[in-house]
Structure 1
Amino acid sequence: MAKNCEHPFLIQHQGTEQQQRYRASLAPENLNLNDFDLKDWMQFAYTFANEVHYFHTTNAKNPQGNWQQFFIENEAIDAFIKNLQSSQKTTPHLTLFICFLKLLETSKRRFNTLTQRHLDFYYGKVLQIAKKAPIEDSVHLIFELAKNTSEARIEANTLIEGGKDSEGKRMQYQTTEERILNKTGIGALKSIYHHRNLGTGLQPYKNGLYVAPMVNSADGMGAKFKEDPYWLPFGYPSPYRPETPLPAPTIGFTIAAEVLNLQEGKRTIVVQFEFEKNITAAFNLNKLMEAFTITATGEEGWLALYPSEIATNTATIGLSGKHLTFTLVVEKTEKSIVPFQKKIHEASYSTSKPLLRFLLNTTSETGYAFYTQVLQKTVKKVTVSVDVSEATSLVLKNDLGPVASDKPFPPFGTQPTKHSSFYIDYPELFQKPWKSFRIKAIWANTPASFVSHYSEYKNASKNAIVTTQDYFKAKLLLEQNGTFTDVKNSAVTVFKPSPSQPVSNTVIPTENPAENLPLFSSTSEGHAVEFRISKQGITKTHDGPLKVRLKHSFLHEIYPKTLTLALVKDPVTTVPNAPYLPVIESISLSYQASDTAFIAASEKNETLQLFHEHPFGQAAANETLLPTYCSGGELYIGLTGTEPLQQVTFLFKLLEGTENPDTPPFTASEKIEYAILIQNKWFPLDSTYLIGDTTDNFLKTGIVIITIPPEANDDNTLLPSGMIWLRARNVKQFDSICRFLDVHTQVITASFLDQNNSLNHLKTGLPSGTISKLTERKANVKGVSQPYNSFGGSPEESDSHYYQRVSERIRHRDRAVSLWDYEHLILQHFPDIHKVKCLNHTQGNRFLSAGNVNLVVIPDIVHKNAFDVYQPRVSTAQRNEIETYINKLNSFFVTAAIVNPDYEEVVVSLGVKFNAGFDANYYTKQIEEDIKRFLSPWAFVETAELNFGVTFHKSNLISYLEEMPYVDYLDSVWIDHRINATTLLTDQTNIIPSSAKAILVSAKKHSVTAILSSCGSKSIKKATQCLP
């Protein structure tokens, strides 16, 4: 058995191209059974006349000569024919002879058709293989309704004017089916794309999310197209187009809660989420916190809390098990957090509560990792707690009326009596589910000792009335549901103020503090009162204000009598001090409040809500912390002027052939999924509402027909209101589908109506703009337009194609056995394949695999849209189609696989000195283009061949470049041979493809350095300095 099976034939075999199938020598018209022209006949006649003898009437046995003298000699025939038309001296017998030869041309032409007539008879009558009939073309027409018309019916077979054919006859098209036109239009096109590398090795861009607010623009942001007005409908990773990168979307969550209404003071906000399952990933908490931006609703717009201009604002994050906790400290100098107002805050939250917004930066690795970690984690509940200290904007009053707190004031009036009351209200507090609040008041002008101050005030028994420092006390009452009720003693804690600390936690033991609240606690700087009221069990009933009611008067009522008695007695008697008038110098309030909402509960919390922050709007959250955007892209189509139950026809005009051929094809479970937004939720469109789709998952231009569900609404907040929104979702890579040219509505397909017309237009299609009106005008239709050429038409099969097809069929008998069979069967059945190379006993990179055949295919890129002109590839879907076709025609014991060539990049680095007068900046780019042109000529010249097995030497490139008029000389030419992503051969001299499937191509980028001086670098001379 032979051991050396790697025959050089595999390397040398070039495969077969489409044009190589057609051989001019085999065409019937190129094989003439009679190819004599006038000169040939005259030469024949002259020569033949030499053999025709002349006999005299007297001698019939011996010839007297021949008949050549009646004809023109061979040497003079050319001159005779040249002067035949102009000469008037041609002899009669030659004139008759020439006329006879001219008449013979008719018989000659008919005789020469014998070959073609024989083929026609054999192919058509014997084999009964007919020519392919012409196929009528179709056009996509865009209709526009007349003003004040909401709907119009276009019947099937409605005639439309298509201009004139090549013979001047009227051409008409007719609609293929009935359509109801309406006012629906495209109001906006937006997209979001989530790129995730799943180990396929394709397009290794960084994972992340990318958003396009106006996806049908040059940069996804609204810029106009300078050229090539096509776009990727689902967006793309920014590194794919670094010149027009797409921004990261606004992703996050927002808390709406009454407890976030925080006007002043030092405010500590704690937001804690509890998930159903543990968060298992470990994060650097500092970096994770840096990935968040925290803002709140302020009086003039969004208030930046973290990062903030207030340097002392701090934020921390905690992550433990099922709990995620944010702690935010907002300093006193920060502005107020107020309820949401749509006009001021320019958002669409369905709430009027204050908002705390957390935006996640998914461009950071930590931020993106956190997003993917919590993407599928269900939130069980969320708790928002606030701790406010030193709030001073209290609403105060006493029995006499309101009291201003911006300056010292008497809380119980100027003549406080027993049961005089002081009311402390803080609506911000009492409208929340508070846990506790703390009041601190500093008294002004208090005596050093109340016992000494009131020592002359006696009761009826001549005993001192004020015997202790805590004589003056008050009772606490709290309004609940409109009625003041006693505060439980267990809920009150009395503190001793300390001058060194803003808030002291030194508790003063007090019996029944709610009924006997000591008003004056002595400090080094005077007297103060500070106490806390806690609520046992948080309720949402309306509380407040707090009522502080005196248990004793300050003895103002007995002061006149006491003073009079003292004056009428012994002058030595001490005159009593005037009673103390309680005046508060300053008062502040601190409090704690908390609220909890169970996200998935059926009964929603009306005071706390969780919203998702989407790229184009907001919506209430019901499961996850962050909005879910799975791997792939989403295209949002905003519809204007549409109504429920209307049927909308979309034309998706695609740049066919621009999908990435290396991406895996769509499987049965993978397809473009359509959904409609109803009440901020996406509802998939099933066959009830998705009437038709001919786009083949956006791989070809087609029409999608959708019926708008009756529940559809245009006031959603997830996307801009005023439009009904559709979503097309692609779970695959962004380039797995074709690029888009445009999306239209009110589309109807019409096909050509042949009325004995010339069919020449079927070769190139009906040009765009030809159709502009209906045959019979309709009053409710303003106009019709044809934005694109017709499609799908083909003329009758030509004779040459017919003969070629049948002759190949006779040879391979519709069976794939030899290399010739494989290659010609594929080229015949798939005309958009340019070249096929058959490799027998080959599987992958194994060239000794019996029973396996590899067919390397190259697509036709001339006048076609190619994903990569340097490395043209056939899409996976078409390769699968070819593979299915060819494996039905080969042996059961052979498995054929369809593969793309292995394109091996050649990377060039060099230095170049340009000739004098040539712009170095411009020609540095030009020489790079010329290198690409040398290595991959098919990308620039339509007629250039793309062949297997082509090698080249470094000297060939040097010789080619040195012939350029702008090149003086080259230096340090370095060539690398990149076989694949992991194999690179450096500094190569003779570059050879690594296998029979490989083709050398130019890299997309080469390194070219302009040499500015031939004598080494020269330093720039210093400028001449001016002397003073």
Structure 2
Amino acid sequence: MKAGKKHISVLQRNGTSQSQRFPESLDPEQLKIDGRTEADLIDYALEFAEQLNFYTLDNLADGDWRPFFEQLKAAPLEALDGQLSPQAGLFLSFLRLFKKQQDQLNGLTKKHLDLFFRDILKIKPKQAEGDQVHLLFELSRKLPPAKIATGSLFKAGKDSDGLELSYQLNEDIIVNHATVESIRSVLVDTANNQLVHKGEAANTADGVEAKLPEENPKWPAFGKRNFAPADLGFAFASPVLWLQEGTRKIVVTLFLRGDESLEIPDDALNNSLKVWLSGEEEWLGPYFTTPSQKEVSGRYQLRFELQLPETEKPVSFFNSSVLTGDFQTVFPVMKVVPDTASFSYLNAFLQGAVLEDVRIEVDVKGIENFDLKNDQGKLDASKAFFPFGAEPVRGASFEVGCEEAFTKKLNSFSLEVDWLDVPSTNMRTHYGSSYGGNQAGLNYYISSNQFKALLSYRNKRDQPTRKTVDLFYSSNNQAQATYDVDNTAFIGRIVPLMPAVLLTGMTENRMLGLAQQKYRLLPGNKRLGRKSIIRDLRVEAPDKGYVSLELLDDFFHRQYRQKYVKATVEHQSGSDLFLPKEPYSPKIKKLRLSYKAVASQANLKEDSESAFLQRDIEFFQLGAFGQREVHAYLQRQTAWTANDETTLLADYSQQGELLVGVKNWAAGQTLQLLIQVAEGSANPEKDKEPVQWSLLMNDAWCPLTTEHLLADGTNGLLRSGIVKVNRPEAKATESVWMPAGLVWLRASVQANPDAVCQLIGVHAQAGIASVVSPQKHPAHLKQPLAAETISKLQRPNPAIKRVMQPYASFGGRAVEADTAYYTRVSERLQHKNRAINLWDYERLVLQEFPDLNQVKCLNHSCPSKNLAPGHVHLIVVPNLQNKNAVNRLQPRVSKDLLDQILNFVGRLSSAFVKLHVSNPFYEEVQLEFEVSFLRDYEFGYYQKELNRELVEFLSPWSIGKQTEFSFGGRIEKSVLLKFVETRHYVDFVSHFKMYHEGGTDQESAVASSPKAILVSHREHLIHRYTRNN
């Protein structure tokens, strides 16, 4: 015999099921002292009556007593209906009285058993345990929170015996006005490269509004993969993005740092970003752009640009009353979202990347709307105008104001002038000798560059700066001129856009404290931002900035008049008439401004207040349900974000999030939240994940410690229970990361979101009540109290408007039945509450966990190998009545229950034993064949019917049948072929194949180990028979 083979016989067994625990020898009914029935006694009387004869006077036998009893034998006793003869009725009455003596005599077996178990061993049957029920309370309007004390009674009608049924509250509850108004979810799809799905209404079929089926209204706690993907990304708000007109180019450069290389494959960058810009009435976009990347001095740069044509609408200041989103800014906003197709790649590389700096550059050409004025007053740029007046003189000025351009930090700007009615010849020819040479004392000739002006502006040091420029070109007929100020001479802004104001203090209904907020006011005292906060505040806006042109020479209008008068007078004296040419009056047909500006002061890493106020770029993270500004100064205001770095993308490292929005939950109040789960719906193959509870404060999730998370009765969302949370007293701002107006509570898991149960409901103001005197209501304990039975207190409380019982009661247990009692005690006598041999382990576990159907113990074995000295491996199969099972073909118990079993057995076994508890290994058997059905049997329907019957034949427990599982089983292909052929609708079968665990065709399917169970595949490959095959 090979080494190890001698142990296999110990492993090749099915273990013990609940139905096998009670031995027949313990049943008092199995061995009766007098086990004769009424029918047996009648038969006995008939046989005995044959021995009782009648005798004649001659002492001769003349018949017997049989006729007296034949009536009882001839017809069923229940059919005689009182038509018995007197002697038969008398005998039947005797039998009925005799049965009482029989019962007393037969009861000696049970009495002897009870004497030993109950009186000598002193082991008592388990007493009844009362059921419990979750109750919800609603406080009357306008009343302060009210207390319902422990022991308060609630009416529950009458039980089946007609007795009044009452429940009493287990512990005090203070009922307040908090209610659950919104339930949302976030699910990170790790199978699809971290794509984030959001549920606007998690308790719906599609995450939005589709209703759940009434017969099974459960829903995943963290959403589904068919929910809509979330538009995660980032955004910038900056004055430099105020782009009203012209051709506009925007270039954004992100300076990033990561723990690892951030280089992204080039094919993942093609049109990978979607960009929106804030418009006057709607978001402009989306515009698709392809970012570029490079590494400079150890810093990773991601750069993208955007081109807006002249026809595109203006990019305007953000207005929350018109545009979606609640950006806490008044500056123009640029939203950037990775395209869904590319998000997986970008997210994988950029998740966790730290944003160190941002630079936004704009290049605008062709602005035509200005604020114009000269020495005579304001000018209208929509039509031709005289910039220096109709008869310009030396020193005449023309001022150009452009709030869009001159409020920005400019690298350069240029004014392009299209002059109207410029002489068709050059200026020297136009003016000719009339104004030059030696005439009129002038010793120079007029030329195009004769006419100059001083271009005045303020430089980056806010100092007046002047530059001499030519008003006209000396060629091309002088039709146009451009006045440039490049970055060698100018880097600065003409005038600030608006002052920054830092506000703290009270508002109507909330306090601004730890997180101070910044508000900006546009010129003209136009108030934007949160109107409820900005009241009666006035900030004097600075004057608009202008660029001015000041003439250095006139255009000879005064000389013209003098020469004209002189020529006229001389002509009257007889001289030839020689009139001077009329001078040119500069008139602008069209004025255009082009400029380049930059914003580069995000100051993201500086946590001072001054750095926060002086920044010219505001950075926002875009989340599944909102957005939030991120800055080191804001993070420093709260302890739970003080050490956080500014990452480009919001942190969605939690794979699943359940978000509960609570209304009217005041600081300092305790919320008792009932979470009803579909118990048993957790994926048993996944490891149990700890659930982290957090509260949204100042747009960041604050983990709740035991100081505020007072109780979690759900055991990490694995069973129905009450979560008790006390809201911290800390001051907090109104949320923009989640919808405003609610207090948001989050339950999240790092991984395995399906390792928790699916949910049925989430309710506020919940308490637990237990039935009063359960021993008086044995009939009630056999079934739960129906939902909506309890609706009021026994003694009304005026502060409580309503009492609700949304779900049936749970946890009740009647007095232990005799069969269960005898089984428990007899097993206790054998294992002595110690786990030593296989028998002990299996029965101890089945007794402690009645929801298990079968347990198999493998000694000297572990999950990875059959022979492992010192190890004990328990394989457990759940009760098959679990309607919420994830996979009914392969029933498994939850990780939570496996842990409970391990802890229980660990207390009863040797300290030297290494215990393992697991689910069975299931191995699928799949059939593939061609079949022809009899005439009049539709293939489409009966194909599904045959598949269903095959599944039920191979896995009968899938339809709820209580059956014993066969570990290490074997299935012959011939048996399955015969089963298919004997279906009444099957004509014949061809090409019949059987696959075991997806392998090749097998004649027999044999389980690979004693831990394995053969089960049916969910879908067998059933094809229509075709003659060609």
Deviates more, 1:871-880 or 1:630-639: 871-880
Aligned partner letter, 2:217: P
Does residue 1006 in structure 1 map to residue 1006 in structure 2? no
1:739 maps to a residue whose letter is: Q
Matched, 1:643 2:662: no
**Could you say which residue in structure 1 is the equivalent of 2:566?**
565
Indicate how the Cα distance of structure 1 residues 813 and 895 shifts in structure 2: closer, same or farther if over 3 A, else same: same
Q: 340, 343, 360: which is aligned to 2:338?
A: 360
Cα 1:102–1:930 shift into 2, 3 Å: closer
Equivalent-residue separation in structure 1 for 2:259 and 2:37 (angstroms):
96
Q: Which amino acid aligns with 1:529?
A: A
Aligned to 2:120: 126
Q: Which residue in 1 is equivalent to 2:314?
A: 336
Aligned equivalent of 2:934, options 915, 925, 933: 915
Give the Cα–Cα distance (whole angstroms) in 2 for the partners of residues 9 and 866 of structure 1.
32
Indicate the larger mover: 452-461 or 835-844.
452-461
Q: How does 1:192-207 map to 2 (within 5 A)?
A: 192-196=186-190, 207=194
CA distance in 2, matches of 1:821, 1:566: 136
**Cα deviation per residue 1:894-919 (whole Å; 9 max; x = unaligned)?**
43322221111123333333433344
Q: Quick check: 2:691–2:716 contact (8 Å CA) kept in 1?
A: yes
Match of 2:605 among 586, 600, 603: 600
Which of 988, 1003, 1008 lines up with 1:994 in the alignment? 1008
Return closer, same or farther for 1:713/1:474 CA change in 2, 3 Å cut-off: same
Structure 1 contact 457–562 (Cα < 8 Å) conserved:
no
- Residues 153 and 887 of structure 1: CA distance in aligned 2, closer, same or farther (over 3 Å): closer
Indicate if the aligned counterparts of 2:924 and 2:1017 stay in contact, CA closer than 8 A. yes
1:972 matched to 2:991: yes
Correspondences of 1:567-582 after superposition (within 5 Å): 567=568, 568=570, 575-582=579-586
1:616 is matched with 625
Q: Are 2:170 and 1:176 aligned?
A: yes
Q: How big is each residue's C-alpha offset from its partner over 1:57-112, in whole Å with a ceiling of 9 and x where there is no partner? A: xxxxxxx999x989999999846996997555539xx96x9877665544432232
Amino acid of the structure 1 residue aligned with 2:471: L
Match of 2:634 in 1: none
Corresponding residue number in structure 2 for 1:738? 757
**Residue deviations 1:561-594 (CA, integer Å, cap 9, x gap):** 2233345278568542211111223321111111
User: Which of 655, 660, 685 is the equivalent residue of 2:678?
Assistant: 655
CA contact (8 A) 1:193 1:633 kept: yes
The one-character-per-residue Cα deviations of 1:396-436 (angstroms, maximum 9, x if unpaired) are 22222232333433221110111111111111011222222
Superposition CA RMSD, Å: 3.4
Whole-Å Cα distance in 2 between the matches of residues 462 and 50 of structure 1?
174
Identify the match of residue 221 of structure 2 among 233, 236, 242: 233
Q: Identify the residue that residue 201 of structure 1 maps to in structure 2.
A: none
Q: Structure 1 residues 341-350 or 30-39, which shifts more?
A: 30-39
- Hey, what does 1:858 align to over in structure 2? 877
- Relative to 1, partners in 2 of residues 1:89 and 1:928: Cα closer, same or farther, differing over 3 Å? closer
Provide Cα deviations, 1:136-159, integer angstroms capped at 9, x if missing partner: 111111222334445332122111
Gaps spanning 5+ residues in structure 1: where?
A: 54-63, 197-203, 239-244, 308-313, 489-513, 979-983, 1018-1028
- Supply the distance in 1 between the matched residues of 2:366 and 2:36 (Cα, whole angstroms): 118
For the Cα contact (< 8 Å) 1:6–1:848, is it kept in 2? no
- TM-score for both structures, normalised by structure 2: 0.85
For residues 879-899 of structure 1, what are the alpha-carbon distances to aligned partners after superposition, in whole Å with 9 as ceiling and x for unaligned? 233233334434455433222
Please state how far the C-alpha of 1:752 moved relative to its aligned partner. 0.9
Deviation track 1:632-654 (CA, whole Å, cap 9, x = no partner) reads 21111111233222221110001
Distance 1:90-1:922 versus aligned 2 partners, 3 A rule: closer
Does the 8 Å CA contact 1:251/1:615 hold for their aligned counterparts?
A: yes
Does the Cα contact within 8 Å between 2:426 and 2:447 map onto a contact in 1?
no
Which TM-score applies when normalising by structure 1? 0.85
Residue 154 of structure 2 aligns with an amino acid whose one-letter code is: I
Amino acid paired to 1:609: E
| Pairwise CA distance, 1:295 | 0.7
| Contact 1:210/1:249, CA 8 A, preserved across alignment | yes
Q: Which residue of 2 aligns with 1:555?
A: 556
Aligned pairs (5 A) from 1:82-161:
86-88=83-85, 90=87, 103-161=97-155
Partner of 2:866: 847
CA distance in 2, matches of 1:399, 1:348: 45
How far is 1:876 from its partner?
Answer: 2.5
Q: Do structure 1's residue 947 and structure 2's residue 998 form an aligned pair? A: no
Q: 1:37 to 1:916 in 2, by over 3 A?
A: closer
Distance in structure 1 (CA, Å) of the matches to 2:733 and 2:447 = 73
Whichever residue aligns with residue 22 of structure 2, its letter is Y
> Residues 572 and 954 of structure 1: is their aligned pair in 2 closer, same or farther, counting only changes over 3 Å?
farther
Q: Using the TM superposition, give the Cα deviation of residue 926 of structure 1 relative to its aligned residue in structure 2, in angstroms.
A: 3.0
When residues 180 and 844 of structure 1 are mapped into structure 2, their CA distance, relative to the original with a 3 A threshold, is closer
- The answer for the alignment partner of 2:506 in structure 1 is none
- The answer to whether the 8 Å contact 1:440/1:529 transfers is yes
Q: Counterparts in 2 of 1:632-781, with a 5 A limit?
A: 632-666=655-689, 671-711=690-730, 715-754=734-773, 757-781=776-800
The verdict on how the C-alpha distance between 1:918 and 1:715 changes in structure 2, with shifts beyond 3 A counting, is farther
Q: Residue 81 and residue 771 in structure 1: after superposition, are their counterparts in 2 closer, same or farther (change >3 A)?
A: closer
1:212 — aligned with what? 199
Residue type of the alignment partner of 1:28: P
Going from structure 1 to structure 2, the CA distance change for 1:42 and 1:675 (only over 3 Å counts) comes to: closer
Distance 1:178 1:695 in 2: 19
1:301 matched to 2:282? The reply is yes
**TM superposition shift of 1:50:** 12
Cα distance in 2, alignment partners of residues 278 and 267 from structure 1: 36
Which of the residues 602, 610, 628 maps onto 2:651? 628
Compared with structure 1, are the counterparts of its residues 219 and 10 closer, same or farther at alpha carbon in structure 2 (3 Å cutoff)? farther
Mean Cα deviation higher: 163-172 or 851-860: 851-860
2 CA distance for matches of 1:357 and 1:839? 61
Q: Deviations over 1:928-972 (max 9, x none)?
A: 323322322211242344322333233333332333344333343
Q: Distance in 2 between matches of 1:718 and 1:562?
A: 77
CA distance in 2, matches of 1:587, 1:189: 57
Given that residues 928 and 993 in structure 2 are in contact (C-alpha distance below 8 angstroms), is that contact kept between their aligned partners in structure 1?
Answer: yes
**Contact 2:435 2:446 (8 Å CA) reproduced:** no
Shift of 1:162: 1.3
Residues 566 and 539 (structure 1 numbering): CA distance in 2 closer, same or farther, change over 3 Å?
closer
Q: Secondary structure of the residue that 2:754 maps to in structure 1?
A: coil
- SS of residue in 2 equivalent to 1:90: helix
| Alignment CA distance shift 1:414-1:38 (3 Å) | closer
In the alignment, the residues of structure 1 paired with residue 174 and residue 899 of structure 2 have an alpha-carbon distance, to the nearest angstrom, of 39
Residue by residue, what CA displacement relative to the aligned partner does 1:492-535 show, whole Å, maximum 9, x if unpaired? Answer: xxxxxxxxxxxxxxxxxxxxxx1x32212223353432222246
- In the other structure, the counterpart of 2:18 is 18
Residue 224 of structure 1 corresponds to 211
Compared CA separation, residues 470 and 806, structure 1 to 2 (3 A): same
Letter of the aligned partner of 1:212 in structure 2? G
How many equivalent residue pairs? 945
Helix, strand or coil at the partner of 2:434 = coil
Counterpart contact for 1:858–1:900, Cα < 8 Å: yes
Cα offset for 1:232? 0.7
Q: Which residue of 2 aligns with 1:497?
A: none
Q: Could you say which residue in structure 1 is the equivalent of 2:508?
A: none
Answering whether residue 492 of structure 2 is matched by residue 538 of structure 1, we say yes
SS at 1:153 equivalent: strand
Is 2:459–2:494's contact at 8 Å kept on the other side of the alignment? no
Query: In structure 1, what is the Cα distance between the partners aligned to 2:722 and 2:12?
Result: 46
Q: Is the 8 A contact 2:881 2:960 kept in 1?
A: no
> What's the counterpart of residue 786 of structure 1?
805
Deviation at 1:460, TM superposition (A): 7.8
1:716 CA drift (Å): 1.5
Letter of the structure 1 residue corresponding to residue 17 of structure 2:
E
- Alignment check: 8 A CA contact 1:162 1:173 kept: yes
Query: What does residue range 32-47 of structure 1 map to in structure 2 within 5 Å?
Result: 32-36=32-36
Q: Which residue identity is paired with 1:578?
A: E
Q: CA deviation at 1:834?
A: 0.8
Q: Within 2, Cα distance between the matches of 1:584 and 1:81?
A: 125
User: Which range moved further: 870-879 or 956-965?
Assistant: 956-965
Measured in 2, the distance between the counterparts of 1:589 and 1:50 equals 134
Separation in 1, partners of 2:189, 2:662? 27
